[in-house]
Structure 1
């Protein structure tokens, strides 16, 4: 891993430079790019681990004096080139920050998200709707760290932009209301939390369709709020809704792979659909499915009066999930556990998707992931 050299600053009288992260007075400079400044070693280290190592050299042409252009055409080309670089960096830094959130590394997500926000402002202006994803990442990181005041500030910035932009997408509004719902839940404002989580479900349904997996997060977090209020009947029904959404989604793709296995003559025709597993289970969806379904299974199993049919449904859904992400040993383990539960349910009829999953597992060797 590359290391960063730091150079103490000796500034001429009256000249001020600011820290990349906190905008406080800078005392250090990156010795590699020579265009990035920090107030102390801690902020330098945080930025380096989060994003600076990846973009260090890319910052040089953006932060050095522009060359002298001989014509308006050259000046226009220079501006367009700068804009393309900033757009690229805005997208790259946002993707890196989002990946840190998926890994539960909330502290590491913050510097990358701050960079994304700065580049987005430079490209789109300070009130553009394109800034909202960066604000939401910063808010989610703050919630993950328990910094509720900071999270609320970022959500307020996002809300202001959303209110000023009537064309803000349903998907962005869904993410905004989910974060606001989680903030209110963390503060103990359960009724406000439920209101915003209901809006999350509404906007995600508008964006992706009723009972799409994008809405499962809203149902899951609503269930958690009712669980905390000891309103178990409502929580139970919402946890079941989450399980049903993912179960339906995974069953569809298990069916596609099963029919490919059973009818090899159609392999070429179905190859394209088989390859869509990555698309329908992107990194964010994988993280959400695993988090929600694992939590629901734990709640079901630890219930004072476990409902075996509900446990079986979650086990089946998790088994399909792990098969689809190519974790065959885990899928096999969950199916074995499911079959043990089903022995205690004489009236429980195995579904077609379970038969298909078992046959798919039998077609593959058990290997360590």
Structure 2
């Protein structure tokens, strides 16, 4: 009885975690999927109904994936698992059990498992992802990048730095092929590689990579501010065109930016020989990210013009502030 009671208690906790993590967010979206398909008068109507159903499922796939990513970047690994599992289940329903489209969800589950120090579980998810990629003939560079990044994280957790560097180098290569060497989606590989060099006390290499990551995010946020400014002048509702223009960050990318830049800031501040210019540089990028976030919220929630103008003024000050080349100093940072 005691064991059974313990299992019931565990299940209740698991269900509560699942509800708080993702189910509450998608509950209303699930209703159309669980409703019995109506009778259609023609094959054309039936096909249209099936397409609508598939579109809803694809929306849920991306929504659950983004939520899981956000939790991972925030270090909320236990919350990430239910969201990633939901994304995996919807992917199986839409694409089948052996599709390469399942790989991103496997990789999220692996990363969450690494964060929870469940290394064996992470290896199982990564093995499934690797096997699926090997069988695929049309796997994208972006998926290869994610696979190698997670393998790099796994070997970092196992303190096998040679294997970790190999996989992170491949991550950077494939991400560069997919997005370019200076893209924010490539910066994660540079960041994790820098962490390895920092742990190995190869401080000059770590410093170079940390600086590169900061420069990538600084350039991206400056460009994004310019787009927002132009949209404001032209009275364009950018929020409605966010995915079309690809100028904004989703919640997961915002969480990633804050996590990476905060980590670099902590490293810059904690080292014995500090370089104030480098600390200020990271702080300025973080300030711009938070200001951009506030700007988007102000528009989305339709706050008053006064609040929006104040945030715009702050963004303008941050973005136009003159910056000077950061001199390299021996003895990191």
TM-score scaled to structure 2, two decimals? Answer: 0.74
Partner of 2:234: 268
- Kindly state the Cα deviation for residue 110 of structure 1 after the two structures are TM-superposed: 1.2
- Partners of 1:252 and 1:62 in 2: how far apart? 40
Q: 1:75 and 1:195, CA in 2 relative to 1: closer, same or farther beyond 3 A?
A: same
SS at 1:173 equivalent: helix
- Kindly state the Cα deviation for residue 72 of structure 1 after the two structures are TM-superposed: 8.0
- The higher-RCO structure (CA 8 Å, 6+ apart) is 2
- Kindly state the Cα deviation for residue 95 of structure 1 after the two structures are TM-superposed: 3.6
CA deviations 1:303-358 (Å, max 9, x no partner) are: 221123322322332333333223779x97xx99xxxxxxxxxxxxxxx83149xx
Q: 1:303 and 1:124, CA in 2 relative to 1: closer, same or farther beyond 3 A?
A: same
Which runs of 5 or more residues in structure 2 are unaligned? 1-6, 296-309, 324-333
- Does residue 52 of the first structure (1) align with residue 19 of the second (2)? no
CA deviations 1:93-119 (Å, max 9, x no partner) are: 334333433443211221222222122
Partner of 1:6: none
- Partners of 1:267 and 1:169 in 2: how far apart? 38
- Does residue 200 of the first structure (1) align with residue 182 of the second (2)? no
- Kindly state the Cα deviation for residue 228 of structure 1 after the two structures are TM-superposed: 0.7
Which runs of 5 or more residues in structure 1 are unaligned? 1-26, 29-37, 337-351, 357-369
* Counterpart among 290, 293, 316 of residue 258 in structure 2: 290
- Kindly state the Cα deviation for residue 132 of structure 1 after the two structures are TM-superposed: 0.9
- Partners of 1:67 and 1:87 in 2: how far apart? 21
Count of residue correspondences: 299
* Counterpart among 309, 312, 321 of residue 354 in structure 1: 321
- Partners of 1:61 and 1:249 in 2: how far apart? 38
* Alignment check: 8 A CA contact 1:300 1:307 kept: yes
- Does residue 213 of the first structure (1) align with residue 179 of the second (2)? no
- Kindly state the Cα deviation for residue 200 of structure 1 after the two structures are TM-superposed: 1.2
TM-score scaled to structure 1, two decimals? Answer: 0.67
How do residues 22-101 of structure 1 correspond to structure 2 at under 5 angstroms? 40-55=11-26, 83=54, 86-101=57-72
- Kindly state the Cα deviation for residue 144 of structure 1 after the two structures are TM-superposed: 1.5
SS at 2:159 equivalent: coil
SS at 1:240 equivalent: helix
- Kindly state the Cα deviation for residue 160 of structure 1 after the two structures are TM-superposed: 1.0
* Alignment check: 8 A CA contact 2:66 2:252 kept: no
Partner of 1:365: none
* Alignment check: 8 A CA contact 1:254 1:353 kept: no
Q: Which has the larger radius of gyration?
A: 1
Pairwise CA RMSD: 4.1
- Kindly state the Cα deviation for residue 60 of structure 1 after the two structures are TM-superposed: 7.1
Partner of 1:138: 109
Higher helix share: 2
In terms of mean alpha carbon deviation, does 79-88 or 151-160 score higher? 79-88
Partner of 2:269: 301
- Partners of 2:270 and 2:75 in 1: how far apart? 25
Partner of 1:191: 162
CA deviations 1:7-53 (Å, max 9, x no partner) are: xxxxxxxxxxxxxxxxxxxx99xxxxxxxxx9932333233223334
Partner of 1:225: 196
- Partners of 2:28 and 2:254 in 1: how far apart? 33
* Alignment check: 8 A CA contact 1:201 1:215 kept: yes
